[in-house]
């Protein structure tokens, strides 16, 4: 009798343990996504690391710039042309005391990356690029002091830092730190489909964001697949709503500067009037702008470059159908029909 009892007790312990583990998991999900009472998490996603490949490439580019400034002689030999020599001349601006050439190259990369308005153009990436740009000046600030001192005095000033900027070490440290931040940035996005809504959560450094979209507010789910995403199996799902979530407005045109104020006078001849009319029309065309509404995926408010996107889209469509007004009306009509039949 005792032999039969012992396995039964072990079997009873196992379900209790599973139930406790499930309860702990549900509680963790509730705190993670700030769920309401009775809400359950059905699907959880995070961006794919491959989707941030362009950021890792940017880190390699900055590392390459450091390597070139560490060994500038690799660009020049006896057979080098004028372009290579011009590049080396720019690199040597400021000398060893203050590497203006490095600052100029890195500032150009920072500006160009910002103007691209791509996924690498975020504020924190720009701040990191600016730090990488100005770090040699901050490290060799005594070089700047010496440069200013030489303009007014011949007295020697002892360097207070005691070391020079090493492009090799700085390139390795900055690149590894940037890659670590990229990994942290990728893991800072949490996406969930619950029994009641779609939740987008973001927590990176001091930035926090939390958005909750009810299923009946969804008007469309757009899928965007880049060539790399098609090859590696990830895609971006953007949720559009009637209130405009997922759609941004941007100005398209060549508005750079201010068009001249060309006014007509009563004494103008026909030729002058025609000339001024032509100038006004020319600048009106040159500075013409139009506002367009377009879909621009924001990692904080969409399923950004996720794997298994087909299952996610299918679940979104099913939950949207389940919570749509037409489905609710059909269910209500079915209930009323059953009640009438019972009567």
Q: What is the pLDDT of residue 2?
A: 45
Q: What is the pLDDT of residue 38?
A: 84
Q: Do 113 and 10 have their domain in common? A: no
Structure tokens at 113: 């990356």
126 close to 58: Cβ distance less than 8 angstroms: no
Residue 288 has pLDDT above 60, yes or no: no
Residue 24 has pLDDT above 50, yes or no: yes
Least trusted range by pLDDT, from 145-154, 199-208, 230-239: 145-154
What are the CB-based long-range contacts (under 8 Å, 24+) for 228-235? 228/50, 228/53, 229/51, 229/305, 232/48, 232/50, 233/307, 234/48, 234/50, 234/51, 234/305, 234/306, 234/307, 234/309, 235/305, 235/306, 235/309
Mean pLDDT of 9-23: 63
Predicted confidence band at 15 (pLDDT cuts at 50, 70, 90)?
low
Predicted confidence band at 74 (pLDDT cuts at 50, 70, 90)?
low
DSSP classification of residue 105: H
- Residue 9 to residues 2, 17, 19, 114, 242, Cα–Cα distance (Å): 11, 13, 16, 65, 56
Q: 185, 213, 244 — which closes off a domain? A: 185
Residue 136 has pLDDT above 70, yes or no: yes
Q: 139, 168, 185 — which closes off a domain? A: 185
Predicted confidence band at 45 (pLDDT cuts at 50, 70, 90)?
very high
Tally of domains in the chain: 2
Q: Do 92 and 5 have their domain in common? A: no
Nearest to 189 by CA among 68, 293, 283, 298: 298
Residue 195 has pLDDT above 70, yes or no: yes
Residue 139 in any domain: the answer is: yes
For 11-40, b/e burial (b = at least 16 CB within 10 A) is eeeeeeeeeeeeeeeeeebeeebebeeebe
Mean pLDDT of 70-94: 63
Beta strands in 218-320 (DSSP E): 218-224, 234-241, 247-253, 289-295, 303-307
Residue 72 or residue 127, greater confidence: 127
Q: Do 24 and 60 have their domain in common? A: no
Mean pLDDT of 60-76: 82
Q: What is the pLDDT of residue 104?
A: 86
Residue 213 has pLDDT above 80, yes or no: yes
Q: What is the pLDDT of residue 258?
A: 46
Contacting residues for 16 by C-beta, under 8 A, at least 6 apart: none
Q: Do 20 and 125 have their domain in common? A: no
Residue 288 in any domain: the answer is: no
Q: Is 335 helix (H, G, I), strand (E, B) or coil?
A: helix
Predicted confidence band at 140 (pLDDT cuts at 50, 70, 90)?
confident
Residue 322 in any domain: the answer is: no
Mean pLDDT of 18-41: 81
Q: How many CA atoms lie within 13 A of 257 on its CB side?
A: 6
Q: What pTM was computed for the model?
A: 0.70
Q: What is the pLDDT of residue 117?
A: 77
Taking the C-alpha atoms of residue 241 and residue 251, their distance in angstroms, rounded to an integer, is 22
Q: What is the pLDDT of residue 241?
A: 82
Q: Do 18 and 55 have their domain in common? A: no
Question: With pLDDT > 90 as the criterion, what percentage of the chain qualifies?
Answer: 26
Q: What is the pLDDT of residue 155?
A: 59
CA 24 to chain centre: 33
Mean pLDDT of 146-154: 65
CA pseudo-torsion sign 108, 111, 115, 119: positive
- Which residues does residue 338 pair with via DSSP β-bridges, in sequence order? none
Highest mean pLDDT among 11-20, 131-140, 227-236: 227-236
Q: What is the pLDDT of residue 61?
A: 94
Nearest to 297 by CA among 214, 231, 197, 225: 225
Q: What is the pLDDT of residue 287?
A: 54
Q: 168, 185, 202 — which closes off a domain? A: 185
Taking the C-alpha atoms of residue 325 and residue 56, their distance in angstroms, rounded to an integer, is 45
Q: What is the pLDDT of residue 174?
A: 95
Residue 161 in any domain: the answer is: yes
Residue 164 sits in which domain range?
A: 51-185
109 close to 61: Cβ distance less than 8 angstroms: yes
């Amino acid at each position: 009798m005792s032999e039969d009892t012992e396995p039964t007790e072990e079997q009873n312990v196992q379900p209790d343990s599973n139930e406790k583990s499930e309860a702990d998991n549900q509680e963790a999900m509730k705190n993670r996504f700030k769920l309401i009472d009775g809400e359950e998490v059905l699907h959880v996603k995070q961006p794919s690391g491959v989707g941030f490949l362009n950021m890792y490439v940017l880190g390699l580019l900055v590392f390459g710039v450091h390597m070139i400034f560490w060994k500038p002689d690799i660009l020049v030999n006896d057979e080098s042309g004028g372009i290579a020599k011009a590049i080396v001349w720019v690199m040597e601006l400021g000398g060893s005391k203050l590497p203006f050439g490095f600052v100029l190259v890195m500032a150009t990369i920072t500006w160009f990356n910002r103007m691209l308005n791509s996924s690498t153009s975020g504020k924190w990436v720009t701040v990191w690029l600016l730090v990488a740009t100005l770090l040699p000046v901050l490290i060799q600030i005594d070089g700047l002091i010496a440069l200013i001192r030489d303009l007014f005095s011949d007295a020697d000033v002892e360097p207070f830092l005691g070391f020079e900027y090493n492009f090799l070490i700085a390139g390795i440290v900055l690149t590894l730190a940037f890659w670590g931040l990229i990994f942290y940035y990728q893991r800072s996005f949490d996406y969930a489909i619950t029994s009641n809504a779609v939740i987008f959560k973001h927590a990176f450094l001091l930035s926090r964001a939390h958005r909750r979209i009810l299923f009946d507010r969804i008007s469309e789910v757009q899928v965007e697949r880049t060539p790399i995403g098609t090859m590696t199996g990830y895609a971006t799902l953007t949720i559009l709503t009637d209130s405009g979530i997922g759609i941004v407005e941007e100005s398209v045109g060549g508005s750079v500067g201010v068009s001249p104020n060309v006014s007509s006078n009563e004494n103008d001849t026909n030729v002058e009037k025609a000339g001024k009319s032509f100038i006004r029309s020319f600048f009106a065309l040159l500075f013409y702008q139009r506002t367009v509404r377009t879909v621009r995926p924001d990692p904080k408010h969409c399923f950004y470059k996720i794997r298994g996107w087909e299952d996610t889209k299918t679940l979104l469509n099913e939950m949207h159908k389940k919570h749509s007004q037409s489905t609710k009306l059909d269910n209500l009509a079915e209930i009323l029909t059953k009640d009438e039949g019972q009567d």
